[in-house]
Amino acid sequence: MKQLKSPKLWLLILVGIAISFFVYRQLNGKGKQDKTQATEAKPLKVEYISTDFKENAFTDGNELALLKELKICDTTLVDGQLGACSPRFFRFFKLNDAVSLKNAFLLLVNGAAYPNDPKNFKSRRILIFEREKGSLVLSNTIKGNLIERRKNGPSTYDDIVIRFRLDDYDEAYHCLFKWKNGRYEYESCEELFSYYCKGKVKPELKDSVSIEVKKILYDEKLLY
């Protein structure tokens, strides 16, 4: 093998190696940086909700008027009596960050509010309303308990997580709902509590479990 004797040739080779090494460092460093940034992406803001109706209170100022407008309780009853328009039975949440409670809200109803309900709602229920052309329009009826609200990027409607329970089967499901097409739509089952599973659904089973849970929710008339 011939030896390289030209100084200029050696210089060019060294410069080429240095440039290649610099480019490699830059590209490799950028890849690591992008990966780190993706890993350290800020999580969604989550609000965990636990409602004790004994401690609940009306704070917006429009709750009684809204209940009277909906005609779902008796305004003549004393606060605390079954069927009364009381914070012991109703809790309001803003539905849309950009709209007042008066015009869009999520209403959580205590399962004890209607002991003689012909539909036999023994658990909490969620009613979601938006005002259209001056009237409140019901977009969802869900027989479950609101346990989480999650900020969804630029959307002014939070994602919500609802806990459903089937006492007859000793099962419970934590399900994610997203606002689509003017109402909340079922997205997936995130946690499952049954004889076979006690907690988060495994990623590889999430699609199949979510499909099966959705069918159960409709079959049991927990979603309308």
pTM of this prediction? 0.77
Q: Which two tokens stand for residue 98?
A: 């950009």
Partnered with residue 150 across adjacent β-strands are 46, 159
Q: Count helices and strands (H / E) in the chain.
A: 3, 10
Rounded CA-CA distance 134/132 in Å is 5
For 206-213, what is the mean pLDDT? 95
pLDDT exceeds cutoff 80 at 119: no
Q: pLDDT: is 222 or 12 the higher one?
A: 222
Confidence band (pLDDT; 50, 70, 90) for 44? confident
Rounded CA-CA distance 96/128 in Å is 11
Cα distances from 201 to residues 38, 121, 140, 151, 224, in angstroms, run 24, 28, 26, 22, 24
Query: What element of type H or E holds 35?
Result: helix 7-39
Domain ranges in the chain are 46-219
